[in-house]
Amino acid sequence: MNSTHDIVFHALENFFIETPSWGYADTGTRFGKFHQPAAAIDMADKLADAGQVHRLTGCCPSVATHVLWDFPEPGKEAEIVALASKHGVRIGSINPNVFQDQEYKLGSVANPDPEIRARATKHMCDCIDLGKELHCRAVSLWFADGTNYPGQDSIRARKHRFEYALREAHNRLAADQILLVEYKPFEPAFYQTDIADWGMAYMMAKIAGPQAKVLVDTGHHYLSQNIEQIVAWLLDENMLGGFHFNDRRYADDDLTLGSIDPYQIFRIFHEIHFYAWERGGVYPRIEYMIDQSHNLKPKIEAMIQTVTTAQELYAKAALVDHEAMVKHQAEGRIIDAEMCLKKAFNTDVSASIGAWRTAHDLPVDPLAAHRDSGYEAAAAAERSQRRIDLGISSASSYA
């Protein structure tokens, strides 16, 4: 069997995480937001910050984008690609926005108004075309669609509207693109959400076409739901397309990964390693993405903390002795099988991860390196002055 050092090296060599552009800007809750002096103001700032994270961690080469927030001016796409390259990153997944406009009050592609449905579907297709232009593989779909009151709309009719829109979007894909269908049990719709769970997302992806898969947001589940079982089933069906990483205490809290339940994230990663082990070490292609709201933690520090936590838990999960575990399972030795997981989870992999970073000319402690770099202070000074010049208020405001 390979040493811990070798296993960790191999695991990290093939583990890349996409950071979200919106994670570098000021965010908040429905009650308000607290501004941070170093928060990104525009896309140039977001890409600079993403570049800082990638330089220090070596595993975040792409940036997820929200089209209406990050590409507000048509014809500027080439400039944004050039900016990304300047900072050592590239544009990653494309995220359409069909939830913020006033006309989407009753839904987007499930809206009872056919004109609004057509506009939302066109926007998705335009985003797919943008992805083609920017050579982006994943188009990630999340919908706020649903109803708040019984009788508000026909649940079945809304399902049919979704089926039509997703087929239209899928038909627009290039051969090398995928459509990721996300789900969420509630919020902002509180009576019924149109794509409320992984089974609905699975069904919609199947209906859309063979290039559609399910995206699992780790915060989009009811309390105590067994997320690793969902991951295992989707893997077995070849329908797991990607993740949005975060953690939660109550619902979709968008807390930093592993801040509440690191063992759950470890168990999710273990299912992926176990699946690959059964297939002779062949891993499925999965888009690993972060989706968190750093409304209190410093943006870049929280992103680095998340990435390094993900690396640690992914590396630990790779250490599980699957040969021994399968033997214990077959012979009904429950405690021994469980201890295979516990042993790996309790292993200190910091030295091996540090060696991997050193081998790649990366700082052993990315967070400390960021703090020592002076990047945050310089960004805060420059952006604070720019906010003054642009007339942007830094006072607390409603989100």
Residue 166, φ and ψ in degrees, nearest 5: -70, -35
Quick one: pLDDT band at residue 1, thresholds 50, 70, 90? low
Nearest to 300 by CA among 98, 50, 31: 50
Nearest to 91 by CA among 119, 63, 61, 71: 63
Render pLDDT for 125-135 as a digit per residue (tens, 0 to 9).
Answer: 999 999 999 99
Which residue type occupies 30?
R
Look up residue 138 and give its two tokens.
């994943």
Query: 396 pLDDT exceeds 70?
Result: no
- pTM to 2 decimal places: 0.96
Parallel/antiparallel/unpaired status of strands 146-147 and 192-193 = antiparallel
Q: What percent of the chain has pLDDT over 90?
A: 92
Mean pLDDT, range 294-316, rounded to an integer? 97
Q: Is the distance from CB of 107 to CB of 159 less than 8 angstroms?
A: no
Mean pLDDT, range 357-362, rounded to an integer? 98
Does 107 or 32 have the greater pLDDT score? 107
Kindly tell me the burial class for residue 77, based on how many C-beta atoms sit within 10 Å of its own C-beta (0-12, 13-18, 19 or more).
Answer: middle
Give the pLDDT of residue 330.
98
Q: Return d(Cα 38, Cα 148) in angstroms, integer.
A: 38
Q: Is the distance from CB of 155 to CB of 115 less than 8 angstroms?
A: no
Nearest to 133 by CA among 51, 58, 65: 65
Q: Return d(Cα 160, Cα 175) in angstroms, integer.
A: 26
Give the pLDDT of residue 318.
98
What does the longest C-alpha to C-alpha distance in the chain come to?
70
Render pLDDT for 114-162 as a digit per residue (tens, 0 to 9).
Answer: 999 999 999 999 999 999 999 999 999 999 999 999 999 999 999 999 9
Render pLDDT for 324-340 as a digit per residue (tens, 0 to 9).
Answer: 999 999 999 999 999 99
Give the pLDDT of residue 76.
86
Quick one: pLDDT band at residue 68, thresholds 50, 70, 90? confident
Render pLDDT for 371-394 as a digit per residue (tens, 0 to 9).
Answer: 999 999 999 999 999 999 999 876
Nearest to 243 by CA among 183, 286, 296, 179: 286
Q: Return d(Cα 286, Cα 142) in angstroms, integer.
A: 17
H-state helical runs in 177-236 = 198-208, 227-236
The domains located in the chain, with CATH, are 4-383 (3.20.20.150)
Q: Is the distance from CB of 321 to CB of 1 less than 8 angstroms?
A: yes
Render pLDDT for 251-272 as a digit per residue (tens, 0 to 9).
Answer: 899 999 999 999 999 999 999 9
